[in-house]
A and B are shown apart, each in its own frame.
Chain A
């Protein structure tokens, strides 16, 4: 008897779940990116001596690690499952030049805390997601790029005038994401007391805490913060000058110099022939802010 009740219950529940299925994105979707700038897919690409490239060729697809919770940079629309943003376009471009079209790309969301592990584990072939190039990380993985230079900024509540820049953070609760450069800088430069540093797994959680007034500022790269501010302009604003340089790189396995050189070539060409600008204008540039072209750093 109980079995039947349960089975019926589940059936009804299942029906209720599927009966009112909506497709596509909500009407007031401000974050969805436009159609991607489709670069021509190269054929017969060869990268001599690259274990990663061999693996990609063998699998017939490329697995790219990205972010999914950063509007404008790397964002996955939960209603359609599609990724959009500046990082995503760069990832697509690199894949195309390596000979992998959109249908051969598998995006994999990797949060900040798991990036090094995902690259060294081979979970992803390469990683494009607000990944700041620094020397500590270079001991674990290698970077191609930079393909963009951001700077650390502050996101605060609209009605809060007490925070104007990095030197006004003392005594304020500052939130960022575990395993990210901004939180390290706050800690290293003692911008606020150690007890006031708050860490979560994702930026959206920090933003939530900002709105419930449990933290006073969210800090990370301005590019990311602008995305959040534009989602909720009535309550949030980005303040102050940026106080760091965050060169974003494409994360690759540590020993794969061949692929790194190849990706650097691809990026360099894109920056020179205007593709980079096109990508920027169609994504981050929509907010009206300008950006300087980065210079590739081959180390």
Chain B
């Protein structure tokens, strides 16, 4: 795909590219080396700042912090998928009023920053006598925001399905709900899988916002151990470790989804969309609807 932009390089271009490559590699290595050296020089790699990782109790805390992050992710993801499915169906409803209400809800929750939503649930609602734990506030926020985005993804997926699918289903005598639940949603889900997954990655990352409403998750762990004078405040080491865990989890999720999808493809239950618009559509939806945090 990218090689349409340039010709197969000739001898001079190759030489030039080699120079660029060397220069580029040098610059990159330079940056990495500088960062590493500064951290080393300011004592970030001394034993004392890494000692914390040896304690059983801290390891347990780290694992339980990862688990809290995953817990918020799991419940948030399930609820967001449900919310998304319901409101996608709502936006495609034949009743004008339902359509309007769904559109309003979806647009509303996509416009309010997730953090403000979490603040609203955790700090705001007690004013009217409704109180919830940080965990619930995080999960609800994740559900509403990501659910709204997912609703748009589902809707785009359903709209992209060949009309023949629903027509055939109606012809078989199925009712609207049946057509939606049995025919349209499953196919849309499959064809939009990459987009859904990238949204779930967003959801996983967003659990880190819980740190700002005192939810005891991974980032909060980094902050707590990182701020402890006992190990002369190892902010950098803990941040590095936690960043590694987050990136690992997100990549694992992406990889898992790709794997499942490949298996799905092999089973040949899916159908190709007309004229193969999936790629463009995926790209557009991926970029347009979900690139948020």
**Which residues of A are at the interface with B, using a C-beta cutoff of 8 A?**
2-3, 6, 17-18, 20-23, 25-26, 29, 31, 68-69, 71, 77-81, 109-111, 113-114, 116-118, 120-123, 201-202, 204-205, 207-208, 228, 231-232
Q: Which 10 A-B pairs have the closest CB atoms?
A: A204-B227, A121-B131, A21-B56, A114-B214, A231-B229, A120-B126, A79-B55, A22-B54, A22-B55, A81-B57
Interface size on B, residues (CB 8 A): 35
Contact with A along B60-74 (1 / 0, CB 8 A): 010000000000000
Q: Closest approach, in angstroms, between the C-beta of B163 and any C-beta of chain A?
A: 39
Taking CB atoms, residues of chain A closer than 8 Å to B227 are: 69, 202, 204-205, 207-208
Tell me, in angstroms, the Cα distance from A20 to B216 when the chains sit together: 25
Question: Is B51 in contact with chain A by the CB < 8 A criterion?
Answer: yes
- For residues 191 through 218 of chain B, which have their beta carbon under 8 Å from a beta carbon of chain A? 211-214, 216
Q: Is the interface of B mostly helix, strand, loop or mixed?
A: helix
Question: Is B93 in contact with chain A by the CB < 8 A criterion?
Answer: no
When the two chains form the complex, which single residue of A18, A109, A114 contacts B213, counting CB atoms closer than 8 Å? A114
Whether A117 pairs with B233 at a CB distance below 8 angstroms is no
Whether A68 pairs with B51 at a CB distance below 8 angstroms is no
Question: Is B228 in contact with chain A by the CB < 8 A criterion?
Answer: yes
Tell me, in angstroms, the Cα distance from A276 to B123 when the chains sit together: 34
**Which residues of B are at the interface with A, using a C-beta cutoff of 8 A?**
51-52, 54-59, 61, 122-123, 126, 131-134, 211-214, 216, 223-230, 232-233, 235, 252, 255, 259
Contacts beyond the supplied A23-B56, A78-B230: 18 A-B pairs with Cβ under 8 Å = A17-B59, A18-B56, A22-B55, A23-B57, A31-B230, A71-B229, A78-B61, A79-B52, A79-B57, A114-B122, A117-B122, A117-B123, A202-B224, A204-B226, A204-B233, A207-B233, A208-B235, A231-B229
Can you report 7 A-B residue pairs in the complex whose CB atoms are below 8 A from each other?
Answer: A20-B54, A21-B54, A22-B54, A113-B214, A117-B123, A123-B133, A202-B223
Taking CB atoms, residues of chain A closer than 8 Å to B134 are: 114, 123
When the two chains form the complex, which single residue of A26, A68, A116 contacts B224, counting CB atoms closer than 8 Å? A68
Tell me, in angstroms, the Cα distance from A3 to B262 when the chains sit together: 14
